[in-house]
Amino acid sequence: MKFSPFGRTGHESSRIIFGAAALAEMSQETTDRTLEMATVAGINHIDTAASYGESEDRLKPFLADHRSEVFLATKTGERSGDAARAELEKSFERMGVDEVDLIQLHNLVDPDEWEQVFAADGALAALVQARDEGLVKHIGVTGHGVTVAAMHLRSLAEFDFDSVLFPYNHTMLAGAAYRADVEQLLSVCAERNVAVQTIKAIAIGRWPQGYEGRQFSWYEPLTDPDAIARAVGRVLSNDQLFLNTTSDATLLPELLMNADYYPTPTDEELDADVAAFGMTPLFDDGELATI
């Protein structure tokens, strides 16, 4: 596993972050095995959310023994201050902790919700108060959709967030407008030492209509080992980026195989994967959100 400073937080985070959405509907026994695999491989950063089903509950036994060994991040999707504070306190209860390293405003991409969050009685003010009380150390913002990078830029212009999170893969970056927004966002984050997390690295696209096979994530992921290696390399070959693992935990071993040695794929190689696996962007123009 390779490690890098997680922005200005002072933490040396594993370049691969464990995406605990994978635990949403998982049994405790499988959760324990999955977390052991992740931590033995060197992952020292866990990212969950209040809305990820039973994820926070499933983390509780692990955190009882290993809290000091991991950077713990969660998220609130609430937009008012009172509701965000209540959800944060509920997250503490579910995980059996009394503080988190990072609290993130979850999927902040809708303009009307953005206005609510930044109001005097909005969620951001409540999270700042929680930080002042020592309940959270850092505050970040996350999002999906083709407008997310532009909205993160707007958020960073208004508040000095410690981290951002957004989709980053070859099909999303093929869109000229999205790529331009991402490049501008990465430049601002580099200047201000804001940590950059990426999601959906190995997404093929939405599940085909009528698909009835197993679905451990809301999108169809790559399963071919070589294609996964190239997709992981697309992210990790940029030293600025961290990669959050997929919610399909069956693919965690394949991702971890590339934690240290990964290719730096060419656009031609990635284009070939797009053609071979029928890859498409997860989000359409103007689409704001998904789970």
Which domains, from first to last, does the chain contain?
3-199+239-246 (3.20.20.100)
- Taking only the tens place, the pLDDT of each residue in 47-69 is 999 999 999 999 999 999 999 99
Q: How far apart are CA 180 and CA 195, in angstroms?
A: 19
Is residue 162 a contact partner of residue 140, using CB atoms and an 8 Å limit?
A: yes
CA 194, chain centre distance (Å)? 14
* Closest to 228 (Cα-Cα) out of 185, 198, 258, 194: 258
Token pair 């969050």 in the structure block, residue: 117
pTM of the prediction? 0.94
The CB density around residue 4, as the number of other CB atoms within 10 Å, is: 16
- Taking only the tens place, the pLDDT of each residue in 215-246 is 777 889 999 999 999 999 999 999 999 999 99
Token pair 């809305």 in the structure block, residue: 51
Per-residue model confidence (pLDDT) at position 230: 97
CA distances from 113 to 25, 60, 197, 291 (A): 28, 31, 22, 16
Dihedral sign computed on CA atoms, order 159, 99, 120, 107? positive
Per-residue model confidence (pLDDT) at position 287: 46
pLDDT, tens digit only, all 291 positions of the chain: 999 999 999 999 999 999 999 999 999 999 999 999 999 999 999 999 999 999 999 999 999 999 999 999 999 999 999 999 999 999 999 999 999 999 999 999 999 999 999 999 999 999 999 999 999 999 999 999 999 999 999 999 999 999 999 999 999 999 999 999 999 999 999 999 999 999 999 999 887 887 777 777 788 999 999 999 999 999 999 999 999 999 999 999 999 998 888 999 999 999 999 999 999 998 876 544 443
Strand 163-167 with 195-199, pairing: parallel
Structure tokens at 195: 């940590």
* Closest to 242 (Cα-Cα) out of 15, 42, 44: 15
